[in-house]
Chains A and B, each alone.
Chain A
Amino acid sequence: MFVTVFALIIINKAGGLIYNRTFHEGGLHKISTNDYLVLAGTFHGVHAITARLNPLKPAATLNRTSTSSSTTTTAATGAGGGAPFARPDPPSGLEVLETENFRMQCFTTLTGIKFLLFTDTTQANVDLTTRRVYDLYTDYVMKNPFYQLEMPVRCDMFDRKLGSYIREINNR
């Protein structure tokens, strides 16, 4: 089975693009850096609105909206906790965006940083992959004294570890 992680984008809490890397040549069309910046900003806005589209009752856990035949948008609320009196999770907003040819998974951290992972539609366990990417980010970006918060990520160590982790997945 052909499974691939195509690309990773990290968006800071203000909606700015801080990291952008393509792992698999020929998976997605190349777009210019400017377009990536626009994509990041637009996604940030859409995400903010979908987070507001949150059902009040925790009983309704899933809210599906189909926008077109080729693009399906799923806005999961993340409020589906088991205990009735537990405080519900904050609304997660847009989490998955799927087309015929690729799937985009968004992972938002509690601090508002978004990790967008573009994968093949058949790719399994993308949650785990995004978590692991977040681990690498906290280790090799946040513990680096030369990284300034909210600024573009330029850390050799992060590039290296991320590269070897994704290569491992793509060659599996």
Chain B
Amino acid sequence: MNDPYRVLGVSPSASDEEVKRAYRELARKYHPDNYQDNPLADLAEEKMKEINEAYDAITRQRAGGGQTAYQSQPSGPSAGGYNANAGYAGSRDPFFQKVYQAIQVGNLAAAERLLTEEAPTRNAEWYFLMGVVCYHRGWLDEARQNYQMAVQMEPGNLQYRQALQMMDQGGYNTYRPAGFTSAEGCDPCSTYLCISCLTPWGGPCC
């Protein structure tokens, strides 16, 4: 394993508190919630694992090398594993199951070919999966249009509605580094206002 201190970006002489703070910031950054449906979710998950192991190793080391001396297990990725398009566990229809598998292994061309050439019917699920293919390509507008179609055809389906809602919000909440955290909604025109009048410290709000 890599040097746990390097993984957390702190020096070996850092205090317990500093190590914990660095770990928390990284855990906030790589948290699976920030990478829901993101084509890079697997890389974030790997990073999360790496920092969990590093933090574990350091706390064990500092507690005197005992395996169980440090009980508090840091909050890692949620148990049960994390999948792209959480909520959609695959289809009961074997054809759509095949399409979904192709998407999961990253073979978008194959998934699209199956959908456009071999699909027996264009039902709500067809549009939903087409939306997923578009989303993974980065075609966000077309992904939204497909999700919308799926919702129209099957308004009762929660997954389709969630997918559409996610698009209408411009994606899930993502990590913002320290110093940029409250910049949301702080457009450059009102920034000037925030700078001097609205913050008690008279400094920038974000």
The yes or no verdict on A and B being binding partners is no
Task: Using CB atoms and an 8 Å cutoff, list the residues of chain B in contact with chain A.
Answer: none
